[in-house]
Structure 1
Amino acid sequence: MNYVQLIEETRAGLVENVHFGMICGVNDQYQTVCHAGDQDHYTFYRSASKPIQAIPVFLSTIISKYGLTRQEAALFTASHRGETYHIDALESMLSKLPVSEEDLFCPPSYPLNVAPREEMLRKNMEKRRLYHNCSAKHMGFVSVCRELGYPVEGYWEVDHPLQQQILTILSELSEVPVSDITIGKDGCGVPVFAIPLKNMAITYLKLACPDLIQDPLLQKAVKEMTSVMNEYPQMVASERFICSVLLQDSNIIAKGGAQGVYCFGLKDEKLGFALKVLNGSEDVWPAIVASILEQINYHNKETITRLKELKPSIIKNDAGNQVGTIKETFLLTQW
């Protein structure tokens, strides 16, 4: 495994922390145009697979049939953070879809964001499956099963017809044969897939540029899905979170996953990127993505500025005094 140093953190001039990983960028010919480290490293998508897992919903008529709003539909792709507007939309979806909370295989949880989680704890509220960051994805799974006549029981197993459909979609988007896809189990209990980092970048290239997708029905579904992600970015994550910041830029489709995985695609440039931070850190994503965009001379400087506001280059202590720095140390090898 070949990896490079991506980020260096210093305090009082001494290196205090480093983050290693790999990055790959591809063009619309599926050729690597820039990279840092091993582009063939097998990597689990984790929640970066959520837009792919949501595609069966957008291939169906579920959204129109049950009167979901576009804002609610964006949640099918989300790792929602449990803010009030997320919970309100999820409750609304439960009231419309042929789904009960007990159908969901994801475990009861509290929200990811600190404020709503602490508010619920203060009020002695119990954990709910609805609060799990994957709950809307699971609502989509159950809804598709009922729509297509699949059994709901076992929808989380890899040999279930829904999971096999998702596996086939992933193979088509990633250009990786099903036989070469490694399958594990994600945090919420459903299958999670690993493929080479380069092919993850190809997947997000196609999500950003669906005209590259040969199947017209799949192309149409991806266009509809990504349009709601850009239209309602805060539903995909929340305020001041990298996914929502990037999706505010209508030229970008992006989604991150656990253990340091991040993917995004650029529409106008017809480029796809995937990166893996080997220590699993999500905290340094904004700095890494901002540096990638700077190195390729990305035209929307406002997006780069917003990313840098999420992860400033100056480290401050609890009193607000500067005590160190964060610096991107990688240079993309451009082919």
Structure 2
Amino acid sequence: MMERANTDAAELVEIWRGPFHEGTHRGHVAIWHHDTGLVASWGDAEAVILPRSACKMIQALPLIESGAAREAGLSERQLALACASHQGAAVHRGMVEDWLGDLGLGEGALRCGCQWPNDIEERDRLIRAHDGPNQMHNNCSGKHSGFLTVAKHLNAGPEYLEIDHPVQVAVRTAFEEVTGEDSPGYGIDGCSAPNFATRLKAFAKALAAYAAAGAGGGVRDEAMVTLRTAMAAHPELVAGEGRACTRLMRAMGGRATIKTGAEAVFAAIIPERRMGVAVKIEDGGTRASEAVITQILIAMGVLDPEHPEAVAFAHGPIRNWRGIETGFIKVSDDLARWRP
């Protein structure tokens, strides 16, 4: 059965050019407190979404819970990369190459597909060498290296993206357990991996579980703490230079873990608030999801509203190619007023 996007979206972000209101981004937000449940929402918290790459920390749970990460001796940096949508920079490609080598595998074992790196320096290096990208440049190659690590640990076959492969069975099980719901189905992501659908508030609930997890709370809690800590400690690996995830996590100094996903999904884990935040912008406008998550992080008290990165993502200004200020971003008044 075909599933259509929910249309009960809230107006969340306005785009202004000079004195003219040029456009509006609509979407959905769910904020979940681990102890008290849904504490705030805009749009429809019941909307079914594909969380895309914003759920990579959930897809990485089997990597730790199965014992695969421990057996492979993975570092905190590698665990951060397993949750990444990276730029394909030399540091990202190099880490994947070393990781595969440690597994006794080559680039051909990956199933994510080739992608030109978004990192300009690495892209230009390839062009100067009359070379092209390989699968290690794919923004999801860290996640796929994690999948391969689990597959080796389970003595499973090489086609680790098949829906009935033990790796994806483990991912779906973990996903449904932390969201507290059976997934209604899945789509195939840009990297060819299954991406399981869920309600927005269920995704926020899962993120709140990461926020509330504590050391000594069992295997799952330990895995959640390990992954959220790795991401916050290595923001340059989770995304890359210039990207919102990297810039905002640096600005927060480890107080929150955030992750973007395609089609304007954004996730946040705020341990000191025991809260999780899930954002979905209906038109797929990334600038809007970045503005919304920035405003919420400010409201949570984990991001200084005067920090240049906070100002840049929540307000702009918007500049043209000559550097002239042409407009600004404005989050909705209702969102701007909200405080936990």
Aligned to 1:328: 331
Identity of aligned residues (%): 28
Matching of residue 223 in structure 1 with residue 229 in structure 2: no
Conserved? CA contact 1:205–1:265, under 8 Å: yes
From the superposition, tell whether residues 245 and 317 of structure 1 become closer, same or farther in structure 2 (CA, over 3 Å).
Answer: closer
From the superposition, tell whether residues 268 and 167 of structure 1 become closer, same or farther in structure 2 (CA, over 3 Å).
Answer: same
Q: Which amino acid aligns with 1:73?
A: L
Write the mapping of 1:50-199 to structure 2, written as runs, cut at 5 A.
Answer: 50-153=56-159, 155-176=160-181, 178=182, 180-199=183-202
Write the mapping of 1:224-243 to structure 2, written as runs, cut at 5 A.
Answer: 224-243=226-245
Q: What do the CA deviations read for 1:247-266 (whole angstroms, capped 9, x no partner)?
A: 33322121111000001121
RMSD: 2.3
Q: CA deviation at 1:314?
A: 1.9
2:15 to 2, 9, 27: 9
Conserved? CA contact 1:207–1:253, under 8 Å: no
From the superposition, tell whether residues 2 and 212 of structure 1 become closer, same or farther in structure 2 (CA, over 3 Å).
Answer: farther
Q: CA deviation at 1:245?
A: 2.8
From the superposition, tell whether residues 29 and 86 of structure 1 become closer, same or farther in structure 2 (CA, over 3 Å).
Answer: same
Secondary structure of 2:241 counterpart: coil
Query: In 1, Cα distance between the equivalents of 2:38 and 2:215?
Result: 16
From the superposition, tell whether residues 287 and 92 of structure 1 become closer, same or farther in structure 2 (CA, over 3 Å).
Answer: same
From the superposition, tell whether residues 304 and 165 of structure 1 become closer, same or farther in structure 2 (CA, over 3 Å).
Answer: farther
Secondary structure of 1:133 counterpart: coil
TM-score (norm 1): 0.90
Aligned to 1:308: 311
Query: In 1, Cα distance between the equivalents of 2:135 and 2:51?
Result: 22
Q: Which range moves more in the overlay, 304-313 or 228-237?
A: 304-313
Q: CA deviation at 1:100?
A: 2.2
Secondary structure of 1:88 counterpart: helix
From the superposition, tell whether residues 209 and 99 of structure 1 become closer, same or farther in structure 2 (CA, over 3 Å).
Answer: farther
From the superposition, tell whether residues 299 and 143 of structure 1 become closer, same or farther in structure 2 (CA, over 3 Å).
Answer: closer
Q: What do the CA deviations read for 1:152-209 (whole angstroms, capped 9, x no partner)?
A: 23x2111222111111111111111x2x432111111111011111111111111222
Query: In 2, Cα distance between the equivalents of 1:284 and 1:94?
Result: 36
Q: Which amino acid aligns with 1:149?
A: N
Q: CA deviation at 1:64?
A: 4.3
Conserved? CA contact 1:287–1:308, under 8 Å: no
Conserved? CA contact 2:273–2:300, under 8 Å: no
Query: In 2, Cα distance between the equivalents of 1:70 and 1:212?
Result: 16
Aligned to 2:4: none
Conserved? CA contact 1:99–1:139, under 8 Å: no
Matching of residue 254 in structure 1 with residue 239 in structure 2: no
Q: CA deviation at 1:108?
A: 1.5
From the superposition, tell whether residues 2 and 174 of structure 1 become closer, same or farther in structure 2 (CA, over 3 Å).
Answer: same
Secondary structure of 2:242 counterpart: coil
Q: CA deviation at 1:24?
A: 1.1
Conserved? CA contact 2:287–2:313, under 8 Å: no
Conserved? CA contact 2:28–2:41, under 8 Å: yes
Q: CA deviation at 1:131?
A: 0.6
From the superposition, tell whether residues 121 and 143 of structure 1 become closer, same or farther in structure 2 (CA, over 3 Å).
Answer: same
Q: Which segments of 5 or more consecutive residues in structure 1 lack a partner in the other structure?
A: none
